[in-house]
Structure 1
Amino acid sequence: MKGEILALISALLWGIAPLFDKYVVSTGVSPYLANLIRVSGALVFLAAVTFVAKDYSSAKLTIKSVTYLLIAGIIASGVAMVIYFQALKLSQASKVVPITSIYPLFTVIFSALLLGENISPKVVIGAVLIVVGLSLVSGE
């Protein structure tokens, strides 16, 4: 149950953050600068949490895993977040956030294609529901 509670807290925080993001870009702040400040704040927070938790275990870190993490960071925290901030600047947070939240659909597709993972019928049904939900949110 503890994991589920933490997941709900995480979802709540993810639901609140876009309100701050939308406010900032609606005042004319560049999406690039907004993202830089946001990521910098996260970096400081994560460094502090790692220090306080004394969790420096890097025995399993390899050059390959560090490279993959850097690529994922550039894709998600760099490129995708800049596009997200630009979307917030041009549209309503109540539309942008649900649309960007369909990323699990892409994860399912790419994990099957690139990692060879099996997709169960339940996952297919979930993916269809994501597409239906997106059409409801994006329709006028």
Structure 2
Amino acid sequence: MPKVALMYALVAVLGWGLAPLFDKFLARELSPWTIVLIRTFAAMVIITIYAIASGAVAELRALPEKSISPWLIIGAAMASAMLGGLIGQMAHYHALSMADASRVVPITSTYPLIASLAAIAVYREPLTWPKVGGALLIVIGVVLVSGVLTKGTEVPQ
């Protein structure tokens, strides 16, 4: 796997791994459908800014007020959209465009490990032996499946 593909895959892991922190924050106040709507809307804001910079124009609407500041909702949704919806997906597709899916996808699919570690740190969720064991299995599985440490050991066809 090219090093740049590995880099993009790892950027995708970080993006997808950290976005759930903002989603959990939103889930304290909003329904899942509303979160999806706001997250998608936030992604559109980011895409619209990029589109405006490149010549496209879009119309944006305001969010209804909730018990928390609309700016916190917008900020958390935009952070989640940026990390998971934009950075993670774009890095994932970049990695896929440069390397085999059978090597990229296992790496990018380790984002639950990042989300778990971040939730333990940010939300003080308990660290248990099953979580530690699961994390180790994720790392071992990715190393084995992705071929990161086994270059040149492909099965002959």
- Please give the TM-score of this superposition, normalised by the length of structure 1: 0.54
> What's the offset of the Cα at 1:115?
2.1
Is the counterpart of residue 104 in structure 1 residue 112 in structure 2? Answer: yes
Of structures 1 and 2, the one with the larger relative CO (CA 8 A, separation 6+) is 2
How many Å separate the matches in 1 of 2:117 and 2:105? 21
Q: Is the 1:99–1:138 Cα contact (8 Å) retained in structure 2?
A: yes
The one-letter amino acid of 1:96's match is V
The one-letter amino acid of 2:114's match is F
Which of 132, 135, 140 lines up with 2:140 in the alignment?
Answer: 132
Secondary structure class of the residue paired with 2:126: coil
> What's the offset of the Cα at 1:86?
0.9
Identity %: 29
Structure 1 alignment gaps of length 5 or more:
1-42, 44-56
Secondary structure class of the residue paired with 1:70: helix
Counterparts in 2 of 1:29-68, with a 5 A limit?
59=66, 62=69, 63-68=71-76
Which of 50, 70, 74 lines up with 2:82 in the alignment?
Answer: 74
Is the counterpart of residue 114 in structure 1 residue 122 in structure 2? Answer: yes
Structure 1 residue runs of 4 or more that deviate by more than 3 Å after TM superposition? 57-62
State the number of aligned residues.
87
How many Å separate the matches in 1 of 2:116 and 2:102? 24
How many Å separate the matches in 2 of 1:114 and 1:133? 26
The one-letter amino acid of 1:75's match is L
Higher helix share: 1
How big is the alpha-carbon RMSD for the aligned residues of Structure 1 and Structure 2? 2.4
Is the counterpart of residue 91 in structure 1 residue 91 in structure 2? Answer: no
Structure 2 alignment gaps of length 5 or more:
1-39, 41-63, 151-157
> What's the offset of the Cα at 1:60?
5.6
